[in-house]
Structure formats: C-alpha cells, structure tokens
C-alpha cells in the first residue's frame, strides 16, 4: 500500500470518527433537557436566607509584603499556609493569627502551596518549574530558614498548582504551564505518571488548576488555558477520561463537589460552571447578568472557587475584589463578601474552606488573608 493510499485511509477514518463524535454530542444534548436551576424551580425550591451576619470576618492575617497568590488549610483545620509574591511561605495559626513558620523560598515567584495530609510538610511551586517540599519539623538554619527537604523537578514550565493525594503524604499531583500534570512520589522525588503532553487527549495550553477527588483519590480534574477541564484517572495516564467544554476563556480554578460526583470550574469568562463526572453534562452556569451596554470582555474573571461541606454554597473569588456566595441549587448570589465591612481592598486571588467547613479563608493582592467564620446553624452549610 502506497503512502498516498495510507494517507487517504487515515483521512477517511478521521472524518468517520469526527462524524461519530458529533452524532454522540447531539444525542447527549438531546438528553440534557433541563439544568439544576430549572429542576429546583419545578420542585418549588427557594434561595436560602443568608446575610452578612451569617459569615463575618473574624481575623485579618497580616505579615506578607507582597501579593498573596495561594493558600491552603491544614487537615486539622487550625493552620493555614499562604504563598506570596514576597517570596515566602507563611504558616499561620488560624485561631490566634500568629505565624508559626516563615519560609524563604528558593524562587520568589511562587504560584501555589499545599499542606500534606499529616500537616507536617508544605509544598510550593512557581516559575522555577519545580515543586519544593518543606518539612516543618526540620531545624532552621543559621539564617532562620527551613531547608528544602525535596525538590520535584521534571516539568518544562512553571508549576501553577499542587495538591497532595488525600490521606497519602507520599504522593502529590502538580499542574504546569507545560500543558501536563504529574503524579509524584514525594519520598523518592520520582515521577510516577505524566498526564497529557504528547498524548492527543491532553491539554493544548497551560494547566492552571487541579483538584483531586476526595471520594476517589485515583481521579482528579484539571483546568487549562485551552478553555477546558479534563478528568484523569491516575491508573490510565495515557488519555483523559473526559474533556469538559463550555467556557470561553482560561479555566483558572477547578474544585470537586463534596460528593465527588461533580466538580466546579471558574474562568476568565466570568462564569462558574458545575459538571457531572458520570454523564459529562454541564449541570449549571453561575454568572451575573451583564448590564445593558456592558462589554462582556470587561467582566471580572473568576480566580478561585470552593464548595461548602454540603455543596449548597459555592464561594467564588473575582479579580475585582468581589467574593460571591452562590446558592448552587437555585443559581443565585446570596451574599457578596466584597461588599461587607472589613472586605479586601484588592483582587481576591485565592480562597479555601477549613476541613470541618466552619471557616472560609480568602487571600488577596492587598497582601492580607481574612478568615470568615460561620455563625450558629450556618456551620453545617
């Protein structure tokens, strides 16, 4: 068989696959006859009653001298690690606002940080294309710094996100500007699996965020500048399980729903979306309606999201300093933390919920972090 004949057969097979894919998409769209808000409306569900007295700022953590880019709660819920443009990681006691560690980073251009499941180590990554692991029990050196316990090197671009595998401090997943995600063995520093890259089902632009499924730690989702989110199985690195479309801009943040069957995304297009991992369908879009005459290109971008313990609330941070609390069931904003007393004075770049769901922490370009506490019965929302 000649090269021309092989090329012709390849083109015909590609066209057939594309046709089948389009038919499948149309069939799936026909089955998607309603969204979450529409169903809730038929059930007579109303937005929950929520006010500024139900979520109040009880702590302001000051100490960074640069923009705060990332934060993470410890599993025991009383410590927070934050990463800033000042080139330091700070570990805070969330109950007293005191700093327990201030770690000078080898590379000041940090983008992400994470606590290990046992709370004994923290990880960070950034423009040095690696992930630094710090053991908080190590003795400080003469300069008062904690040395790097392990440096995970293998990405060919900046490390935008990192997360330890739940209940396993020996494994960690990173996302990178090289369009890949990597599963690491932290004890040896070895790469166990690479997701994306040369594989055709991988991302085609920078990976900006990852989230590991708390119910099934073999599954994780990634968000990318290619406007998609992709679901991965750590046991099958060669291809994504599913690709989720819908956004019209970079997907900056992804987060699994508490039950592990859904996940949320936030994008440069100003929208948050909720997807079902089992069907691949989009369940809902959370986006404020534009005023008449407004240019959609000027919409504030979504920088970070988190769900409440029950999943009823979606916390979404925006580049204009707003932080909307969405009722996921009815698709309405029930509170804007950016408009209450003691709110941030700049872009909110990151946020996270404590393990027990009793407090929310936000980090901002105003160089501070704020802890917001739920009052009374709202602790279980």
Q: What pLDDT is stored for residue 381 in this prediction? A: 55
Q: What pLDDT is stored for residue 294 in this prediction? A: 54
Sign of CA dihedral 381, 95, 120, 73: positive
Euclidean distance between the first and the last CA atom of the chain, given in angstroms as a whole number = 65
User: In whole angstroms, what separates CA 310 from the centre of its chain?
Assistant: 18
Write out the DSSP string of 289-308: PPPTT--GGGSPPEEEEEE-
pLDDT by residue (tens digit) across 55-93? 899 999 999 999 999 999 999 889 999 999 999 999 999
Which tokens belong to 94? 């969330």
Beginning with the edge strand found earlier in the chain, give each strand of the sheet holding 79-84 in spatial order.
68-73, 79-84, 88-93, 99-104
Distance between CA 65 and CA 334 in Å, rounded? 33
Distance between CA 345 and CA 322 in Å, rounded? 10
Query: Is the Cβ–Cβ distance between 325 and 340 less than 8 Å?
Result: no
Residue 379 gets the label, from left (phi > 0), alpha (psi -120 to 50) or beta, of alpha
pLDDT by residue (tens digit) across 104-145? 999 999 999 999 999 999 999 999 999 999 999 998 877 768
Distance between CA 206 and CA 180 in Å, rounded? 8
Q: Tell the CATH topology of 36-288+295-374.
A: Methylamine Dehydrogenase; Chain H (2.130.10)
Domain boundaries, the chain: 1-31, 36-288+295-374
Within 10 A of 65 (CB to CB), how many other CB atoms are there?
11
Q: What pLDDT is stored for residue 377 in this prediction? A: 46
């Amino acid at each position: 068989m000649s090269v021309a004949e092989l090329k012709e057969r390849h083109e015909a097979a590609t066209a057939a696959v594309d046709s089948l894919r389009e038919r499948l998409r149309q069939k799936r769209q026909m089955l998607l006859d309603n969204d979450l808000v529409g169903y809730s409306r038929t059930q007579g569900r109303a937005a929950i009653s929520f006010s500024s007295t139900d979520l109040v700022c009880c702590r302001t953590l000051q100490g960074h001298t640069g923009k705060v880019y990332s934060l993470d709660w410890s599993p025991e819920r009383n410590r927070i690690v934050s990463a800033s443009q000042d080139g330091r990681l700070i570990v805070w006691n969330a109950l007293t606002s005191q700093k327990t560690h201030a770690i000078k980073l080898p590379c000041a251009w940090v983008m992400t940080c994470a606590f290990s499941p046992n709370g004994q180590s923290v990880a960070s990554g950034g423009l040095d294309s690696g992930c630094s692991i710090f053991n908080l029990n190590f003795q400080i050196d003469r300069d008062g710094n904690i040395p790097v316990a392990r440096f995970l090197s293998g990405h060919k671009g900046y490390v935008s996100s990192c997360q330890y595998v739940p209940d396993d401090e020996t494994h960690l997943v990173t996302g990178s500007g090289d369009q890949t995600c990597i599963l690491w063995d932290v004890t040896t520093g070895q790469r166990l699996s690479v997701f994306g890259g040369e594989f055709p089902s991988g991302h085609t632009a920078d990976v900006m965020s990852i989230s590991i499924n708390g119910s099934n730690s073999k599954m994780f989702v990634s968000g990318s500048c290619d406007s998609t989110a992709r679901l991965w199985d750590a046991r099958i690195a060669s291809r994504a399980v599913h690709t989720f479309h819908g956004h019209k801009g970079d997907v900056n943040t992804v987060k699994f729903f508490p039950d592990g069957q859904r996940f949320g995304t936030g994008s440069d297009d100003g929208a948050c979306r909720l997807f079902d991992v089992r069907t691949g369908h989009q369940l809902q879009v959370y986006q404020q309606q534009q005023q008449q005459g407004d240019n959609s290109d000027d919409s504030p971008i979504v920088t970070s999201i988190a769900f409440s313990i029950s999943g009823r609330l979606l916390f979404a941070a925006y580049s204009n300093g707003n932080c909307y609390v969405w009722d996921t069931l009815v698709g309405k904003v029930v509170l804007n933390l950016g408009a209450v007393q003691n709110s941030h004075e700049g872009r909110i770049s990151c946020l996270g919920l404590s393990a027990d769901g009793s407090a929310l922490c936000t980090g901002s370009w105003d160089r501070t972090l704020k802890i917001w506490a739920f009052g009374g019965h709202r602790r279980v929302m």
